[in-house]
Amino acid sequence: MKFEVFKKGKIDSDFLLCGAYAFGSDGLVIRRAKIEFKDGVIECKKPYQATSGIALLWPIEGFGRVILPTTCLPEREKPYNLNVEIARAKLMQSVNKREEWSIFDNFGALADISREAQSLFIEAIENLSSPSTASKLADESLRRSIILSEKLAVKQAESFFVAKSSSHGFSRGCLGCRIDPAMIYNSAYMEKLMELFGFVFLPVNWAQIERQKGSFDFSLIDACVSVLSKRKIAICAGPLLCFSNENLPEWVLKDEGEFERVRESAYQFIVKMVSRYSDHIRSWIVVSGMNMQNHFEFNFEQVLEMTRAATMAVKAVSNRVLKIVEISNPWGEYYSAMPGTIPPVMYIDMLLQGGISFDAFGFRLQFGKNQDGMRPRDMMEISAILDKFTLANKALYITGLEIPSENVSGDGELAGQWHGQWNDLLQSRWLEQFYKIALSKPFIDSVVYSNLIDNPGSEIPKSGLMTEGFEPKRSYLVLKRIHEIIFNR
C-alpha cells in the first residue's frame, strides 16, 4: 500500500514519519509491517496481503500532532491520498460515535461543525482526480472533524458524569494516587495526598524485596502500610508480578527463563506478600504487562499459565481480595516489532477464554514522550479505546495516568502535541476532560494518578500535580474541583 502525503496542497517531501504502524480489519496491529517514507510517499509493506490501514503521528493546523488512523483499505498499486483517508476515518468515527451515544438532541453549534466537515469531505472526494485540491479540502474537513469529535466525547462524558454523581454512583476510591514510598513520612506530602484522594496505589517491586532467594526486605512496604492504615485510606498494591527486567530479581534472571522454576518462585513470592498484608491491602495488581513486558519471551501458553499461577497464588491466601490484571499499551503498537509480545485484545481474550480467576483489568496511560504508546491521541480516540474493552465484561481501573506540564525531552514534535506544546494549562485541561470521560463510564471504578509531585525519576518528566516544592499546579486545583463535585453533594 502507498499513500501520497500533502502539506497545504503540495507533495510534502519533508514529512516527519513517526509512530507509524499498520493494522488489519480486526483492529489488531500487523506484525513486521515495514513502513517507510520517501519523496512524498509512504509505503507500507506487509508480510501478507489483506485489507488494512495505517496509523501515524499526524499534524493538524491549530490542534497539534496526534496519532490518527486511516480507514481499512484494499491493496492497490496506485497511491491513496493520505490526507483524504485520515479525514475519512475521523469523520466516520465521529458519525458512528454520535449514533452509538445517541447524541441527537441539543446538538447545538456542533451541528454546524458536523455539516461543514461532511460538506468539505464530500467536496474532497469529488476532487480526487486533483490530489492537491482534494488534500486541502480534506485537511479543512479534518480540522473540523477533530474539533467535533473531542466536543462530542466531552459532551457525552459530562452528561453521564453529572448523572453518575447525582445518583451517588462514585465510590470513595474513585480518585486515587500512586504514592512515593520515600515520601511516606513527609507531612506536607501526606496532607496534600489526603486532601484529594481516598485511594492510594502502593508500588511493589519483586527485585527490591527479594534480592536473594528466600530473603525478604519488607521494611519500606511495612512503613507505608502502617502509616496509610492509621489514616484509614484504602490501599491497592502491585504489581506482584511483572516481567520487565527491572522488576525481576537477579537470581530469577539467572534461571534464564526456565519456566517451571520461574513460575514456582513467582508463586511463592506472591503468597508471601499477600499473606503478610491480608489485613490491610484488599486490592492487588497481580500481574502487569504480560502482553508486552516479557523478558524471557515465554510463549502464549506459558504467558497464560504464568497469569493463572499468579491469580491462583492470591486466591490461595484470600478469596476476598480484588485481583487486577494490568494491560500495557491498550493500542498495541509494540506488537509490530517486539518479539514475544501479544496484542492487548488477544491477551484479554486469552484470559477470558482460559478461565483465569480475576476481577478487573487495569490500564496505564502515559502521554508526552517519543515512545510507542506515549504519543498523544485526541479525546475521542481515548474514549473509544475505553469503550472497546467493555466487551470483556470486567471492571476497569486506570492504574496509572501521567501527563506532563511542560516539555523537557527536547523532542516535542516527535513526542506529539495536544492543542500545542505541553504546559501547566494544557495539562489541567487534558486531565479535566480525561477524568470526566473516564469516570463517566459505568465500568470504570477508579482513576489513579501516577505522581502527586514532580519526580525526576518519573517516566514522564514534570508530570506531577504539584511542583517538587509542593506548589499546586492548575491540574491539582482541577482535581480538587472534581473531588468537590463528586463528594460534596
Contacts of 172 (CB under 8 A, 6+ apart): 198, 199, 234
Q: CB count, 10 Å around CB of 1?
A: 23
The pTM assigned to this predicted structure is: 0.95
The per-residue pLDDT for 167 is 84
C-alpha–C-alpha distance, residues 178 and 240, integer Å: 15
Contact, 192 vs 452, CB < 8 A? yes
Coil, strand, or helix at residue 56?
Answer: strand
Q: Is the pLDDT of residue 180 over 80?
A: yes
Reported as a single tens digit per residue, the pLDDT across 237-270 is 999 999 999 999 999 998 777 999 999 999 999 9
- How distant, in Å, are the alpha carbons of 13, 120, 130 from that of 10? 9, 18, 11
Q: Is the pLDDT of residue 413 over 90?
A: no
Question: 173-182: buried (b, 16+ CB within 10 Å) or exposed (e) per residue?
Answer: bbbbbbbbee
pLDDT band at 440 (very low <50, low <70, confident <90, very high): very high
Mean pLDDT of the chain: 93
Which set of grid coordinates corresponds to residue 380?
Answer: 475521542
Q: Which of 16-25, 44-53, 180-189, 387-396 has the lowest mean pLDDT?
A: 387-396
The class (CATH top level) of 169-487 is alpha beta
The per-residue pLDDT for 168 is 82
Which set of grid coordinates corresponds to residue 327?
Answer: 494491560
Q: Are strands 175-178 and 80-81 parallel, antiparallel or unpaired?
A: unpaired
Q: Is the pLDDT of residue 452 over 90?
A: yes
CA atoms within 13 A on the CB side of 481: 11
Q: What is the mean pLDDT of residues 416-438?
A: 96
- How distant, in Å, are the alpha carbons of 78, 138, 278, 386, 436 from that of 444? 44, 35, 25, 9, 11
Reported as a single tens digit per residue, the pLDDT across 95-106 is 999 888 887 666
Q: What is the mean pLDDT of residues 427-453?
A: 95
The continuous run of DSSP H or E covering 362 comes out as strand 360-366
The per-residue pLDDT for 390 is 75
Which set of grid coordinates corresponds to residue 432?
Answer: 479535566
Q: Is the pLDDT of residue 171 over 90?
A: no
The per-residue pLDDT for 433 is 97
The per-residue pLDDT for 169 is 84
> CA end-to-end span of the chain, whole Å?
55
What are the domain boundaries of the chain? 2-161, 169-487
Q: Is the pLDDT of residue 190 over 80?
A: yes
Contact, 69 vs 331, CB < 8 A? no
Q: Are strands 395-402 and 360-366 parallel, antiparallel or unpaired?
A: parallel
